[in-house]
Structure 1
């Protein structure tokens, strides 16, 4: 059965051409709450979308898409911190630029991450040594089960690497409405990654870190407006120290970062690159030639092309290294979210 002609091509950064039965653009918190509650209580199928930068559509969606366009940033401060309350529909990178223009530092390492603020806590976005959990103060959400607005402190969100309570026990029953950020006035740069190491901690500015990261991302990662993609497609796998030591013996040069004394985070991009998978194609989906962690739409890729390519990559990495990669984006089929393996 085909959905009504509400195209979602411009609502997902993979630029996959699927549609939905109904599309509602909400521009206020009140409208977001009333729309989602009405759909939930009438037992209608619905999907909340922000920037569409973390989804792969594999079919026409047989339900309503609620597109969050809410705006607004509230500012407060005390002697030690800047406090921001940010509407879910605000663009994340625009927020980073806004804070820097106001001489508020702390978000610069998270520059150019696509998507909206409301999506940021769901997978605890992170880049270049900083994760959202380090700057998050609270997350406000609508509990669909009872219609209440609730607020979780950051330490209640069960944040971990690309994970949170919103992907666990609150999956399918919470709609994030706003996010609180807490940014220390006494700024300390995080410059332990790549070219950032060239900066001197005592002299570098937040704007210099921001500019360097924007340059790195623009150089390494394809622009979704040119090549559809969802950014990093695979999580960096975390393995035990013993497994890592064994991998080093068999694969000299393997890249890993210490998580703690017992765990090491592997660079998934290195694994895919060294497996010779850059340029691998399924239909019009391909592993990006410059950044192996990114899958791209060469023009007319379907969601099935993307998921089948992802499974080929995962299978090759398992065969070569004995490591199981996990996809970051949400896989959305006709009836909603599903597992990559189910496609």
Structure 2
């Protein structure tokens, strides 16, 4: 099967980091995986699966084979009295897929509008925004074992979802290539508008509450707060919102009454990482060619010419500052190859 050599990946990661793959192929059919595994030289290489490159920090050189998932297609698989069951190929653009479901009259994904990346990456990261996570509407994940070619369907439960986490990021990391995702979109519309930004946006637009109006509010808010990767390289929110116990939360709130936090299950609280980074003095601050975005401290940006080492240096500096000031360790959200 034709592979390209020494392939430039700069345009395939939203941080815009210069990177080259030793070998590269675009996967448009699962049969290609069988052909790759049948080639002893290729099978012996380390394999890396690339989606939209929006949650990724690449090294300058990627050894082995990079497989760009380009499996397309979206369809209504079935329906019952409670929900529609919708399938999408892993290579589909996530935002385009969300807007397509809304155009068909199927709600459930509107809060996840304008999140960059592909459908196949969504369950790996358990992407979420404004009170909704992909696990809330996911029905199943079709995946292929890169080691032996086994194909299976993971149920919602088997994905073992956590906050920005799944089985595909933990013990099964690097083992499975996701080819298709099935969503269960409920017939009964429930609008999640528990965030002030969304309420204000809908009021400003004088929009009647609907999934489409909520999606547009999400798009407007995200466009105001977050930089467009086509304009300035970034990977979206760079750090997870840390989860702390009640004692730690109480200690922090005693020192900083304005602390931004949310209850997260019984006895736990989720802190706003962007607030912590801002208070630590990093909002709009750069370290070499990389910096934290001036409008949203949670977003790390490439001002031009940054390499993997620059991203790591800034990441570690922000972590150290927040740790020193608040006693909380931030965890990066993107995957570091």
TM-score normalised by the chain length of structure 2: 0.93
- Residues 58 and 41 of structure 1: is their aligned pair in 2 closer, same or farther, counting only changes over 3 Å? closer
SS of the equivalent of 2:283 reads coil
SS of the equivalent of 1:242 reads helix
Equivalent residues of 1:37, 1:147 under 8 A apart: no
Instruction: Using the TM superposition, give the Cα deviation of residue 33 of structure 1 relative to its aligned residue in structure 2, in angstroms.
Output: 5.2
Match of 1:88 in 2: 90
Instruction: Using the TM superposition, give the Cα deviation of residue 144 of structure 1 relative to its aligned residue in structure 2, in angstroms.
Output: 2.7
Root-mean-square deviation (CA, aligned residues, Å) is: 1.9
Instruction: Using the TM superposition, give the Cα deviation of residue 31 of structure 1 relative to its aligned residue in structure 2, in angstroms.
Output: 2.5
Equivalent residues of 1:32, 1:68 under 8 A apart: no
Match of 1:54 in 2: 55
Select the residue among 149, 156, 159 that pairs with 2:158: 156
Match of 2:22 in 1: 21
Instruction: Using the TM superposition, give the Cα deviation of residue 287 of structure 1 relative to its aligned residue in structure 2, in angstroms.
Output: 0.7
Equivalent residues of 1:39, 1:46 under 8 A apart: no
SS of the equivalent of 1:166 reads coil
**Superposed, which structure 2 residues align to 1:179-190 within 5 Å?**
179-190=181-192
Instruction: Using the TM superposition, give the Cα deviation of residue 22 of structure 1 relative to its aligned residue in structure 2, in angstroms.
Output: 1.4
Q: Is 1:259 the counterpart of 2:247 in the alignment?
A: no
Give every structure 1 segment of 4 or more consecutive aligned residues whose post-TM-superposition deviation is greater than 6 Å. none
SS of the equivalent of 1:245 reads helix
- Residues 269 and 48 of structure 1: is their aligned pair in 2 closer, same or farther, counting only changes over 3 Å? same
- Residues 240 and 143 of structure 1: is their aligned pair in 2 closer, same or farther, counting only changes over 3 Å? same
SS of the equivalent of 1:122 reads helix
Work out the CA distance in 2 between the residues paired with 1:291 and 1:227: 13
Match of 2:303 in 1: 298
Equivalent residues of 2:5, 2:24 under 8 A apart: no
> For residues 106-132 of structure 1, what are the alpha-carbon distances to aligned partners after superposition, in whole Å with 9 as ceiling and x for unaligned?
100000111011111111000011001
Number of residue pairs matched by the alignment: 329
Name stretches of at least 5 consecutive residues in structure 1 with no aligned partner. Answer: 333-343
Q: Which moved more, 1:141-150 or 1:312-321?
A: 141-150
Match of 1:336 in 2: none
> For residues 310-336 of structure 1, what are the alpha-carbon distances to aligned partners after superposition, in whole Å with 9 as ceiling and x for unaligned?
00000000000000000011112xxxx
**Superposed, which structure 2 residues align to 1:1-343 within 5 Å?**
5-32=6-33, 34-35=35-36, 42-75=43-76, 76-198=78-200, 204-332=209-337
- Residues 300 and 65 of structure 1: is their aligned pair in 2 closer, same or farther, counting only changes over 3 Å? same
Work out the CA distance in 1 between the residues paired with 2:308 and 2:33: 28
TM-score normalised by the chain length of structure 1: 0.92
Equivalent residues of 2:6, 2:22 under 8 A apart: yes
> For residues 248-295 of structure 1, what are the alpha-carbon distances to aligned partners after superposition, in whole Å with 9 as ceiling and x for unaligned?
011120000001220000000000011111122222101111100000
- Residues 253 and 123 of structure 1: is their aligned pair in 2 closer, same or farther, counting only changes over 3 Å? same
SS of the equivalent of 1:316 reads helix
